[in-house]
Structure 1
Amino acid sequence: MVARDKSIDKVLDRMKKSGFNEESAIKEIINLGILNYVSELYSDGEITVREAAEILQLSFRQTAELLEKEVGGNVRIEEEKRALDLARRLAERSY
């Protein structure tokens, strides 16, 4: 069992005032921690949306929407420029 510090007790007290019992409050805190960790992994480019979905046990679409809300995206400007350049070159070949 993990020793609880005062900040955890304060959060639990606040959550109990919002209608959570201790067990559901602890589960919610853990789920938020997991989401935060997965969001950081995705933001750092260490995992894909599909891998995040697997960890979070959500559909691809739900995960993509959640990560968009939490992180925004993990595509760097250089990658975006390369993708646009490639799309432009492919479009020019089509004509």
Structure 2
Amino acid sequence: MKKQKRAPLSAVRDAIRECRVIRFSYEGQSYTVKPVELGRSTGGSLIVKACVREGPADGLRGWANFYYWKIRSLEILPERFDPGTGPESLHPVAA
């Protein structure tokens, strides 16, 4: 099995700054999220705070933290979102 590379940190920062929806693989599952912030966990690991729009059928919805080092195959989508909206408004806004 081919090992996937970690997503470039610059791509995550760009998506946050530009309010772009992203899609990525995380622990073997596919997620589509609105990334809103980079931060640190209590243990010091870099995390991405995001609002999950699509995930595994039995998985996460709403606000979630993702360890940056576990994010793979990141794709910045053309969709934009309103940074002031939370889980109650998971649909992208017009560009």
Same fold by TM-score greater than 0.5: no
Q: More relative contact order in 1 or in 2 (CA 8 Å, sep 6+)?
A: 2
| TM-score, normalised with respect to structure 2 | 0.24
**Larger radius of gyration between Structure 1 and Structure 2:** 1
| TM-score, normalised with respect to structure 1 | 0.24
Greater fraction strand:
2
